[in-house]
Amino acid sequence: MQSGFEGWGRLLAYAVLGASYLFLMSVVALAQTSILNVSYDVSRELYKDINPAFIADWKAKTGETITVNQSHGGSSKQALSVAAGLDADVVTMNQAPDIDILVERGGYVAADWRKRLPHDATPYTTTTVFLVRKGNPKGIKDWDDLTRPGFQVILPNPKTSGNGRYTYLAAWGYALDRSKSETAARDFVAKLFANVPVLDGGGRGATTTFTQRDTGDVLVTFENEAIAIGSELGTDKFEIVYPSLSVEAAAPVAMVEKVVDKKGTRKAATAYLEFLFSPAAQEIIAGHAFRPRDEAVLRKFASRFPAIKTFSVVQAFGSWREVQAKHFADGAIYDQIIVKR
């Protein structure tokens, strides 16, 4: 019996030595041949399919084996994580400001990132649409219906997600187009947000609220997310309504210079971003209900994407910088609207 405890002390010592060793190892983890793609919330499934295709392509071209890791969350939150030290080699966001902020905060991304890839470095677009319950019981046709009193609109937090920001801008642009008056647009958006009972952090959270929690009459989200909900959860439960006018949401991508230089992954990261514009990747993109940039691929999938009248943020608002300062900065219009709610 006594000798049994002789071993205890030794066991304890080994356990502690082992634990300390493991901890130190994890601190000085060796750089692996892997790249990290930090992306927004509802692109999970897309990159899950793109990554293996890229890995195979890279292997065929260079003979090297590479790993691609993914991290997802609200677009702005993810961008700020990168600024706070999340080692992303590439960022694939859903709105330009989330990449611009990485230029401003510490020069993580080159200032001319838009010029480095085709289509202003946006491999695909999508647009903001409505998802309603089957049969459209509330008869929702356009943005006006969303401002009806007593109506529940589900959308993600514009402060933390690009998805929510596009919705805000789409509603604003629609009202402006109708009334030609800034005041009327502001009132319209304020009325819409007064109907929002939950503000989830990211697009996926909003989807869960609407579909799983049965909250709300309409979900305003990206077209790709709305189509994905149909195929994931059954087209018999929901249907998509296209508004008369919406915003074109182009998804920008960029390389994080500081990180690729540190990790020595510049070549792979560049290849990864260029791969997104290749016909193979564009097919995968279209397969996930994003509108591809490649004309041939877009024609092939035309039946999936009904024609919809859209405006771009630059057309309607001048630039993202102006949008940011006027609408989403601390104390700007969005804050004023949401506090009064």
Partner 1 sequence: MAGAATALGGLRGAARFEANTATRDPAWVKGLVLSLSLGFFLLFLLLPLIAVFVEALRRGWSVYLAALIEPDAVSAIRLTLLTAAIAVPLNLVFGIAAAWTITKFDFRGKQMLITFIDLPFSVSPVIAGLIYVLVFGAQGWFGPWLGEHGIKIIFAVPGIVLATVFVTFPFVARELIPLMQAQGRDEEEAALVLGASGWQMFRKITLPNIKWALLYGVILCNARAMGEFGAVSVVSGHIRGVTNTMPLHVEILYNEYQFAAAFAVASLLALLALVTLAVKTYVEWRASQTAQPGEVP
Partner 2 sequence: MAHIRAHRVLPGFGLSLGFTLAYLSLIVLVPLAAVFLKTITLTPEAFWQTVSAPRVVASYRLTFGTSLLAAAINVVFGLLLAWSLVRYRFPGKRLVDALVDLPFALPTAVAGISLTALYAKNGWLGQYLEPLGIKVAFTPLGVLVALIFIGLPFVVRTVQPVLEDLDTEIEEAAASLGAGRWQTVWRVVLPTLLPALLTGFALAFARAVGEYGSVIFIAGNLPMVSEITPLIIITKLEQYDYTGATAVAAVMLVASFVLLLTINGLQGWTDRRAARNG
Residues that bind partner 1 (CB under 8 A): 2, 5-6, 8-9, 12, 15-16, 18-20, 22-23, 26-29, 36, 44-45, 69-73, 81, 83-87, 204-205, 208, 211-212, 232-233, 262
Q: Is 98 in the site for partner 2 (CB under 8 A)?
A: no
Determine the size of the site formed for partner 2 (CB under 8 A): 21
Cα 151 to the chain's mean position, in Å?
26
In the complex with partner 2, the residue whose CB is nearer, 198 or 314, is: 198
In the complex with partner 2, the residue whose CB is nearer, 80 or 308, is: 80
In the complex with partner 2, the residue whose CB is nearer, 74 or 203, is: 74
Q: Which run of H or E residues covers position 235?
A: none
Least distance in Å: CB of 302 to partner 1? 28
Contacts of 62 (CB under 8 A, 6+ apart): none
CA-CA distances (angstroms) from residue 305 to 123, 127, 134, 223?
16, 10, 20, 9
Residue 72 near residue 41, CB atoms below 8 Å: yes
* Footprint (CB under 8 A) of partner 2, residues 50-79: 73-74, 76-77
Q: Is 234 in the site for partner 2 (CB under 8 A)?
A: no
* Contact track, partner 2, 147-166, x by CB under 8 A: ----------x-xx------
| Structural tokens at position 44 | 């999970």
Residue 35 near residue 272, CB atoms below 8 Å: yes
Least distance in Å: CB of 81 to partner 1? 6
Q: Which residue has the tokens 């901890």?
A: 23
In the complex with partner 2, the residue whose CB is nearer, 115 or 340, is: 340
Least distance in Å: CB of 323 to partner 1? 26
Q: Which residue has the tokens 């990159």?
A: 47
Q: Is 324 in the site for partner 2 (CB under 8 A)?
A: no
Least distance in Å: CB of 125 to partner 1? 23
Judged by CB under 8 A, which of 83, 110, 241, 280 binds partner 2? 83
- The whole-angstrom separation of Cα 209 and Cα 129 is 17
Least distance in Å: CB of 73 to partner 1? 6
Q: Which does 76 bind (CB under 5 to 8 A by kind): partner 2, partner 1, none?
A: partner 2
Residue 90 near residue 98, CB atoms below 8 Å: no
Q: Which does 19 bind (CB under 5 to 8 A by kind): partner 2, partner 1, none?
A: partner 1
Q: Is 197 in the site for partner 2 (CB under 8 A)?
A: yes
Q: Which does 80 bind (CB under 5 to 8 A by kind): partner 1, partner 2, none?
A: partner 2
| Structural tokens at position 49 | 């399919």
- The whole-angstrom separation of Cα 147 and Cα 149 is 6
Size of the chain, expressed as the number of residues it contains: 341
- The whole-angstrom separation of Cα 289 and Cα 227 is 7
User: Amino acid letter at 340?
Assistant: K
In 3D space, the residue among 258, 36, 247, 257 whose CA is nearest the CA of residue 162 turns out to be 247
Q: Is 97 in the site for partner 2 (CB under 8 A)?
A: no
Q: Is 213 in the site for partner 2 (CB under 8 A)?
A: yes
Q: Which does 136 bind (CB under 5 to 8 A by kind): partner 2, partner 1, none?
A: none
Q: Which does 198 bind (CB under 5 to 8 A by kind): partner 1, partner 2, none?
A: partner 2
DSSP code for 36: E
For every residue of 117-136, DSSP letters joined together read: SHHHH-SEEEEEEEEEETT-
Contacts of 126 (CB under 8 A, 6+ apart): 222, 223, 224, 249, 251, 289, 290, 291
**Positions that interact with partner 2 (CB under 8 A):** 73-74, 76-77, 80, 83-84, 157, 159-160, 197-201, 209, 212-215, 339
